[in-house]
Amino acid sequence: MPDKRSKQLELLIADSNGIPRGKTIDSAALDEADSPHSDLPHMATAIFFQCVHGEYTHQAMELYNPRDEDLLLQPDWSTYRSTPWKNGKEKDSEDIGQVICNTLDKNGAPVPYDPRNVLKRILSLYANRGLTPIIAPEVEFYLLDPVRKGAQQLSPAAGQDQRIESGGEAFSIDALDKYAAFTNALQQMCQQANLNMSAMVHEMGPGQIELNISHGEALDRADELFLLKRLVKACALQHGHNASFMAKPLKRLPGSGLHLHCSLLNTQGGNIFATADGKAPEPLQQFIAGLQKYLPQAFALIAPNVNSYKRFVRDLSAPINLEWGYDNRTSGLRVPFGPATAGRVENRVAGADANPYLVIAATLACGLLGMEEQLIATNPVDTDAYELAAELPEDLPQALRALETSKPLIEMLSTEFVDVYTSVKRDELKHFNQQISAWEVGFLGSMI
């Protein structure tokens, strides 16, 4: 545990949607002699059965948690961070800290429907093969005006000049400076919370920003991305904005993606994806082939919401297929330009709304299946991949059916997790389909 612990401690876990859930405790009450079989803090297992609209999925609850039981929270002290948006600058010590917890059942076994445990399950398969995945995430989000109850659409936030961008300011340093109060505070908070944000850039949309996390081991980077998204939203609120990681918050504008750069180290620390004469080696091509074959079956994990599918628009900064190419940003899978030793693949398909643990788990599971089955990738595309056919699942129901019938992925992720996750998503779909949309109000309300 950290040498200097805060007075109050937030115990965090990520639910199926990647939303932080947990409880705040007096840290003095946490006995460091605790074990999974003694007096660890408790939390309702139903957190993992909770939908984004707040209700619980009854089908999975009846199957796996009919008594609405507790689980145990075991702090993973390697994830301990401060909460700088809560702790006053004038104070000498932290008042509130946060730590991500391992979730265990009453017998001390990992809870199978915890997304973090799903990622750990996949990483154990790599460890058994002497491989360590290295991940570098890049996540995009929009700064928006605060969401009002009953609002029919979202609006980009104005900069310090009180002007809302109209576009054309991608990668502009000056445009980013118009949000300097927010961006400066964000950088300072990341340093205070020891989060490895390595770069920030103004993206294609008005008020759209991309953050990069430096590369590292997969679980560490998933934890950092989970905590970074929480910090971004809190910092934005302090500056009068809403930070949205929604995949497609604004019509006719680019959506927000979550790009993952992935390489694999062997037991000697060498990168087995290192390129030779600028070409991808066989393990990397097999990994890419696994993504091409199995990502459509895992799509509900990387495009988890009804809104996610509105992001995949031809020629609008999101891929429409799983073609791959060398330094080709029009393809869904990209082998970036760089030193041979840094050979890697970038999965550009996932949306910013994806659960960090699940998008990394899905990418690694599909890639591992490709290597295990020695699959052969298609030929790399050296032209505009937007001119090729769109091949991704069209909507969430299609993606859920693909996941529910994928025996290889179910075996890797666990039956329990897939049952619970798909049940949560089907309940969210049911709830969505019961709503009356702005389109229905505008076009049908007075015309039909």
What count of Cα atoms within 13 Å lies in the side-chain half-sphere of residue 71?
A: 26
**Distance in angstroms (rounded) separating the CA atoms of residues 125 and 133:** 11
Assigned domain for 446 exists: no
* CATH code of the domain containing 19: 3.10.20.70
- Burial letters 275-309, b for 16+ CB under 10 A, else e: beeeebbebbbbbbbbbbbbbbbbbbbbbbbbbbb
Of 200, 202, 206, the residue nearest 188 (C-alpha): 200
158/246 same-domain check: yes
> Which residues does 155 contact at the CB level (< 8 Å), separation at least 6?
144, 145, 164
Residue 28 lies in a domain: yes
pLDDT for 92 equals 44
Q: How far is CA 323 from the centre of its chain?
A: 22
Residue 442 lies in a domain: no
* Residue (of 232, 308, 190) closest to 20 by Cα position: 232
Q: Let me know if residue 61 belongs to a domain.
A: yes
* Pair (176, 257) in one structural domain: yes
d(CA 37, CA 32): 13
Is the same domain home to 15 and 135? no
CA dist 202 → 63, 146, 209, 299 (Å): 46, 20, 5, 27
Q: Where are the strands (E) in 64-124, listed by range?
A: 70-75, 81-82, 96-104
Same domain? 288 vs 181:
yes
Amino acid at 294: Y
105 and 203 share one domain:
no
Closest by Cα among 56, 239, 32, 258 to 140 = 258
Q: What are 265's two structure tokens?
A: 């180290």
Q: Give the three-class secondary structure for 70.
A: strand
Residue 439 belongs to some domain of the structure:
no
Longest dimension (CA), the chain: 69
Q: Which amino acid appears at position 282 of this protein?
A: E
Tell me: do 61 and 104 sit in the same domain: yes
> Do 269 and 128 belong together in one domain?
yes
pTM: 0.95
Strand 208-213 with 197-202, pairing: antiparallel
Q: pLDDT tens, position by position, for the chain (448 residues)?
A: 555 567 889 999 999 999 999 999 988 877 655 454 568 899 999 999 999 999 999 999 999 999 999 999 999 999 999 999 997 654 444 589 999 999 999 999 999 999 999 999 999 999 999 999 999 999 999 999 998 776 778 999 988 888 877 767 889 999 999 999 999 999 999 999 999 999 999 999 999 999 999 999 999 999 999 999 999 999 999 999 999 999 999 999 999 999 999 999 999 999 999 999 999 999 999 999 999 999 999 999 999 999 999 999 998 889 999 999 999 999 999 999 999 999 999 999 999 999 999 999 999 999 999 999 999 999 999 999 999 999 999 999 999 999 999 999 999 999 999 999 999 999 999 999 999 888 888 899 888 8
- The CA–CA distances, whole Å, from 428 to 149, 320, 351, 391, 431 equal 20, 25, 18, 25, 5
**Residue (of 115, 113, 111, 120) closest to 226 by Cα position:** 115
How many domains does one find in the chain? Answer: 2
* Identity of residue 238: Q
Give me the CATH number covering residue 300.
3.30.590.10
Domain presence at residue 158: yes
In this structure, are 63 and 200 located in the same domain? no
In angstroms, what is the C-alpha Rg of the chain? 22
Which phi-psi region, left, alpha or beta, contains residue 171 (left: φ > 0; alpha: ψ -120 to 50)? left
- Answer positive or negative: Cα dihedral of 155, 158, 162, 166: negative
**89/367 Cα distance (integer angstroms):** 45
Q: How far apart are CA 375 and CA 369, in angstroms?
A: 8
- Note down the domain range covering 42: 8-112
The answer to whether position 429 is within a domain reads no
**283 with 212, same domain?**
yes
| Torsion angle in degrees (nearest 10) through CA of 100, 104, 108, 112 | -120
41 and 188 belong to one structural domain: no
CA distances to 63, 169, 172 from 119, rounded to whole Å, are 23, 37, 36
Q: Which of 112, 141, 175 is the last residue of a domain?
A: 112
Q: Is residue 270 part of a domain?
A: yes
Residues 6+ apart with CB under 8 A from 92: none
Q: Are residues 185 and 98 in the same domain?
A: no
103 shares its domain with 252: no
Q: Could you tell me which residues are beta bridge partners of residue 98? A: 10, 81
The SS3 assignment for 21 reads: strand
